[in-house]
Structures are given as C-alpha cells and as structure tokens.
Chain A
Amino acid sequence: MPETFEVVVNGDVVRVEPGTSAAAAILMAGHGACRKSVGGEPRAPLCGMGVCFECRAEVDGVRHVRTCQALCRAGMRIITDGI
C-alpha cells in the first residue's frame, strides 16, 4: 500500500497517493472546475498534457500553474477559481 499524504484544496484536506497530479487532487476534493473562464464559465482540464492551460490554478502561492503537470507534494496548497 503506497504511502498517502495530504494536500489542501481550497482549504479542504485531500489524501492522495504519490504520483497524483494537482489536477486530480482538485477533482478528488469535489471541485468540478479548476478555474473560471474570461466569461465566467467553469473550466476543467482538457488536454491533460500541459498545452491547453485550462487546468491552471494557484499552487503554493504561484498563480497560473498547470495542475495536470504538477505532482502533489505533502502539504501542497491548491486554490482554484483564480484567474
């Protein structure tokens, strides 16, 4: 059983396995969307490989991080619905 650890998504604690992407953690936390579009629509990952930028969220204080390529680390703080 791989050792799980905790990350925080919008203030909620989520337990994940190593190798989990921040995008997956956002979905596991029950948030259907990573961000709001220019027009206010909810948006979630599209390409899964770091080219579409729909999955971006704030990770550990840095905005516009592509969460599909960011591996979770213990204590990572993720905030969605940024810009």
Chain B
Amino acid sequence: MGSERGRKIVVVGAGPAGIAAACAAAEAGCAVVLMDDNPTAGGQIWRGGGGREAAQWTARLEASGARCWYGACVVSAAGGTVVAERDGEPMRIEYHELILATGARELFLPFPGWTLPGITGLGGLQALARGGVPVRGKRVVLCGSGPLLLAVAAHLREHGARVEAMAEQADFGRLVRFAARLVRWPGKLAQGLGLQWALRSVPFLTGAWPVAAEGRGELESVLLRTVQGTRRIACDWLGCAFGLIPNAELAAFLGCRIEAGVVAVDEWQRTNVAHVFCAGEPTGIGGLERSLAEGQIAGWAAAGQETKARALFGRRADLHRFSAELAEAFELRQELKELASADTIVCRCEDVRRRELAGYGGWRGAKLQTRCGMGPCQGRICGPACSFLFGWDTLSGRVRPPVFPASMGTVAAAGERQRREARV
C-alpha cells in the first residue's frame, strides 16, 4: 500500500507520542497539523526541553514539515473537523485522519490538608519548576507512587531543591520484585539504578504515604505514615500523586470505546471510530518509549505506511509487557481509600467534602445533588478520585462539549460550518 500523500492528519497532543506520530505521517508525505494546549511542544515529560533524545525528536519535527499550533485547546471534534480555541479565538481544522495523543494526568487522592497552597502533583511540581517557580533551597517532600517519584526527585535536586524525603506507597517487597523484573529492560534498569544512586542521600520510604498536610493558609509540614510509625517533616513544597491516568476525554467524546479508563485500539492504533487513532498513555500508561513506539505506529498507519508500522509491533509488545509490570508494582493499596476523612474536600472546584458524597450509588446522582464535578475541571481531578474511593464509573456516559472550557464564541463557532452546510 502506498503512502497517502497530501492526506490531512491532525495530531492532538505534542508530547512524545504526538511528536512521533506527526514526524512519521509528515515524513510519509501527509499534510500534518500538530496541536497542543501548552505553549510549546514536549508534553509533560519533555516540558521545557527535555534531554538529547527530546532535542532530536524536536529537530526532526521541525524538519518534517508538520504545521504546529501551540496554545490551542481542542474543544470539540466531529465529522472530519477539530474545533479548538487559541488566544480566545476559535480555530477549525479539517482532517482525514485524527490521531489522539492526549497523554495522561496525575491521579490525586484527597487527604486532610491537601488543598493547601504548596501542595502539587509530582509531575506537577516538576512542570511548575520548569515554568520558573523557584525551588532552589526549598525543602521538598515527594510522595505518592510510581517511577515519577524518583525522576522528579532527581530533577528537583539538580535544580537546587532540598528533597527531604520520598514516600512510595508500594511495599518494599513489590519494588524489589519490580527491580528484579527490570532485568528484561536493561536500559530502564540502568536508568532506575542511576536515579537511586543520585538520590542515595535522600530517605526513600516504602509502604509510606501522607496522612495529613499541615499549615495555616499554606503548607508548613506533612505527616507521613511509615512502616515505623508516623513522621512529621517540615517542608515548603509537597509533591504528591498516585500514578497516572489517561486523558481519555476527547476519545470518549468522539465515541471511542473506553475500557477501564483506557482507550481501546487495534494493532494499528485505530480506535473503533473510523479515522480516529489513539497513541501513547491514553491506550495504557507505559512511559516514554511506549509513547514513541505507538506514536510512530499511528503516524505510519494513518499515512498508509503499514510495513513501517508493523516493524515496531514487536517493540510495542515488549513495552506493553513493561506497562503491565508497572501497573502491578505500583498498584494502589486499599488503605489509601481511607486517606480522605469525612471533612476532606474531594471536589476542589466546588468545595464538596467526602461526607457529602456518602450514600450515592453513582457519579451522576452525586454530581446533581452536591455539585461535585460541576466545576471548570469538569471532573478531571475529583472524578478519578471518586472512582478510586467509591468505585463509581466517572468517565463513560456522555462526554459533552466543550471537552475543555472554552469561550461562548468558540462554542458557537463549533456549530457554524455544519449550519452553513445544512442551509445549502
């Protein structure tokens, strides 16, 4: 099958998966548009630059001929057109194929005091620091779960932060088994060992998690539960997140099948919706290499370059196995369901506390009665927390436009073309 020259491909999300997809499709001769709501490319992991590999990909992107739009937030998509908002103005872009590379966000579990200024996610703290938030000389405690914990700790130390402690909720035993299985991925093992060496002077607590953040008006200290009892650590910043969850909202909006929060795709990264592909974290949390592999497969598949896509199937399968290891090693323990006390705020947009959510059988009933999830985050923060705490399904069901808040003018513009066509 030859390449589809001139075929219009729109890629949503300019993290590693999106960059890889855009490069693959553009190099195959397609007319590619890459969009991201951040001011620059890179997504989360390559925010503010990234290392040598990031620089190589960015250079390749610039050379590929793909048209890049930053600060563009997708609001709706249907029937071959993406509607986004950029600088308050609507933009409409047509596509033959749409590749969703919308990445992941962090899972926040509420605990007493978690709404104090100074408390962020793990990747969140790194992102804020890369955006200029001063961390040099500041006392930082990092907790939650997952590989981000070490990666963020190392990065912040390089920038002069005083990382006082890291607290991983997974047990020591699980982490040891995970490390042993990392032998299959020597690169990742080396990376992990390198991080641990760099952080050797920083206390790394396993089977540990925050039970409360303390302070008047801002963070002053955190109380950690550890295997040896509770420990209070004074700090200026607390980075805390319990793993990653797919940004699957746009896929859900388009009608893609979502299973356990993950976008279902076939071997070509195609979803069940015609002309819609999905690559990277939304198909399953797996990190950088998986995103790069899936992005390339999607880009080549969308461009009709099936042979090239197929060449990466083996690598992708291997990386899927790594994803499974990650999920098992960092599975969240049941005790975390009790972190939030009755008075703990669960929905930050609307200040809805845990006790107000008791007794509802599902997300919709709770939302209608308590306003939980009715704020501008559209349930992106509280929804996954409620899923974990109460077992509610907070993603499926109708995801309505706008997929992100957008101005009334942009929402109106989204329907304009269809209206004009209807008149003709």
Report A's interface with B, CB cutoff 8 A. Answer: 16-17, 19-21, 23-25, 27-28, 32-33, 37-39, 41-54, 56, 62, 64, 68-71
Contacts and interface: CB of A to CB of B under 8 A. Distances in A.
B134 A27 contact: yes
A68 B131 contact: yes
A28 B132 contact: yes
Interface stretch (B58-66, B204-212, B344-352): B344-352
A23 B381 contact: no
B375 to A, nearest CB: 7
Nearest to B380: A51
Nearest to B125: A48
Size category, B interface: 35 or more
A18 B126 CA distance: 18
Contact of A54 (B39, B73, B348): B348
A64 B376 CA distance: 9
B219 to A, nearest CB: 9
Contacts of A64: 376, 405
A23 B128 CA distance: 8
B124 A46 contact: yes
B44 A49 contact: yes
Interface in B115-142: 115, 117-121, 123-128, 131-134
A69 B38 contact: yes
B37 interface: yes
25 contacts: A20-B131, A21-B132, A24-B128, A24-B132, A24-B134, A25-B132, A28-B133, A28-B134, A32-B118, A37-B348, A38-B349, A38-B350, A39-B351, A42-B218, A43-B115, A44-B117, A45-B128, A46-B119, A46-B120, A47-B124, A48-B121, A48-B123, A48-B125, A48-B128, A53-B375
A45 B128 CA distance: 8
A15 B124 CA distance: 23
A19 B127 CA distance: 12
Given A21-B132, A46-B124, A48-B127, 20 more contacts: A20-B132, A32-B218, A38-B351, A42-B117, A44-B120, A46-B108, A46-B121, A47-B105, A47-B121, A48-B123, A48-B124, A48-B125, A50-B37, A50-B38, A50-B73, A51-B381, A52-B348, A52-B381, A53-B405, A69-B38
A44 B376 contact: no
In the complex, which of the residues A38, A42, A47, A68 has the most CB atoms of chain B within 10 Å of its own CB atom? A47
Contacts of A37: 115, 348, 351
B154 to A, nearest CB: 17
Contact of A49 (B48, B124, B132, B376): B124
B120 A45 contact: yes
A76 B326 CA distance: 43
Nearest to A20: B132
B375 A23 contact: no
A41 B114 CA distance: 12
